[in-house]
Amino acid sequence: MEHETYRMLDVGQLLANYAAVSQNKYGFFLCRKGEAEILLDNRSYQIEAGVMCLYTPYTFIRIMRHSDDIEGYLMEGELDSIQLALSSIPVAARFAIRSHPCVKLGLEQTHRLEQSVKMLNSRTELYKAAKSPRSAHLFKLLVQALLHTLCLEVLEIYFNCVPIEELRQNREERILNHFLMSAFSNCVNERLVTFYANELHLTPNYLSSIVKAKSGRTAIQWIETFTMLQAQHYLRQTKLSIKEIAYKLHFPDQSVFGRYFKRHCGISPTGYRNMWQVE
């Protein structure tokens, strides 16, 4: 599909020690099997079969731990593609999604959602395989209508379920989560551990030891991860030049940014952008 308005993701893409940022996207995860602890921004939630989690644009997402049999539907949609469905609910209600992102579904609600996802996926495959321009056009309209239907289904179910309360966090977990959110928000300007340690009134060594012990990655690795997420977003989603992206990310010049990107991604910024455009 040209300019896909939604995509189904592999749950394996959100394994422990991996983080993602929803950028300009809404999404949901319906757990069908297994269990996990998921971090949405700085709040942790326990999920299991029948739990649905919604996330809004620029949400920080990380699966802290999960069972080996974790399974479910994970879908993201561009903001523009689901704006029509969102416009049907009051603005105040939309904020509830960010405040209480996880709800427990009943069997009938789970079945309804699964059926909607399967219908959307099957018609999307027919659209991709369409042989004639007329069929492709009609299937495209059908996919758009089914995506709108799915969004309304998700919202109707969400607002008729009881939210799941966030998990209590100990001191080290609060330190880790504060660091993750701050690094996600500030990595463009601040890429030294000292800045984040000062925020928390800790020594850099102590902060680094907590982050490593609780997440399996060093503080520097997390800062680099968030910087790369920002860089990849600009390369995929904007027409900014490499020089402009380097400036936005506060690198001294394009060459320094290019070396930094290649060191962490294994490919140059231009190569990455070209590869994404081909896909």
Q: Is 165 contained in some domain?
A: no
The answer to whether the beta carbons of residues 25 and 77 sit under 8 Å apart is: yes
Look at residue 12 in the predicted model and tell me its pLDDT: 66
Confidence of residue 242 (pLDDT cuts 50, 70, 90): very high
Q: By percentage, how much of the chain surpasses pLDDT 90?
A: 57
Strands (E), the chain: 6-9, 19-21, 25-33, 35-40, 43-48, 51-55, 60-66, 71-78, 102-104
Give the H/E segment covering residue 185: helix 171-186
Report, as an integer, the average pLDDT of 109-125: 94
Residue 233 has pLDDT above 50, yes or no: yes
The answer to whether the beta carbons of residues 6 and 66 sit under 8 Å apart is: no
pTM (2 decimals)?
0.74
Report, as an integer, the average pLDDT of 28-36: 91
For residue 75, which amino acid is it?
Answer: M
| 126 and 16 in a common domain | yes
Q: Supply the mean pLDDT for the chain.
A: 87
Q: For residue 88, what are the contacts with CB-CB under 8 A and spacing of at least 6?
A: 152, 155
Query: Which range of residues forms the domain containing residue 260?
Result: 171-278
Residue 105 has pLDDT above 90, yes or no: yes
Q: Is 210 contained in some domain?
A: yes
How would you classify the pairing of strands 35-40 and 102-104?
Answer: unpaired
Q: Is 166 contained in some domain?
A: no
The phi-psi region of residue 166 (left if phi > 0; otherwise alpha if psi is between -120 and 50; otherwise beta) is beta
User: Where does a domain end: 117, 137, 158?
Assistant: 158
Domain count, the chain: 2
Confidence of residue 240 (pLDDT cuts 50, 70, 90): very high
| 38 and 113 in a common domain | yes
Distance in angstroms (rounded) separating the CA atoms of residues 94 and 164: 17
Q: Is 61 contained in some domain?
A: yes
Look at residue 190 in the predicted model and tell me its pLDDT: 94
Look at residue 3 in the predicted model and tell me its pLDDT: 43
